[in-house]
Amino acid sequence: DVKVTQSSRYLVKRTGEKVFLECVQDMDHENMFWYRQDPGLGLRLIYFSYDVKMKEKGDIPEGYSVSREKKERFSLILESASTNQTSMYLCASFNGLVARHEQFFGPGTRLTVL
């Protein structure tokens, strides 16, 4: 059974704190993604990675950075958390070697920044 896991389901942080969200997939996928989900806005791409140590900005990268040191792990970093980063964060992966771009999602991390 394929799996994408995220380190926390719920997280509460204070403004200015550095926040790490971790994602691990066990499917040997090259491609991994971080999205944020907000009501009425759908899923917006923050960053993605198509290989170890490779990263590309998505549509809303400001205030975020990422790290991919191992193929199975993709971390999202909020350098200095702000209240407007309160959101649901979803990690996903897919196998770029097949034509079907099915993305496999983790359960999400609901982050609240106070």
Partner 1 sequence: GENVEQHPSTLSVQEGDSAVIKCTYSDSASNYFPWYKQELGKGPQLIIDIRSNVGEKKDQRIAVTLNKTAKHFSLHITETQPEDSAVYFCAASKTGGFKTIFGAGTRLFVKA
Rule CB under 8 A: choose which of 7, 11, 22, 58 binds partner 1: 58
* Of the candidates 111, 88, 107, 91, the residue with the CA atom closest to the CA atom of residue 37: 88
By the rule CB under 8 A, 77 interacts with partner 1: no
List 26, 56, 80, 83, residue binding partner 1 (CB under 8 A): 56
Would you count residue 57 as binding partner 1 (CB under 8 A)?
A: no
From residue 10 to residue 49, the character string flagging contacts with partner 1 as x (rule: CB under 8 A) and all else as - is ---------------------x---x----xxxxxx--x-
- Beta carbons of 60 and 36 less than 8 angstroms apart: yes
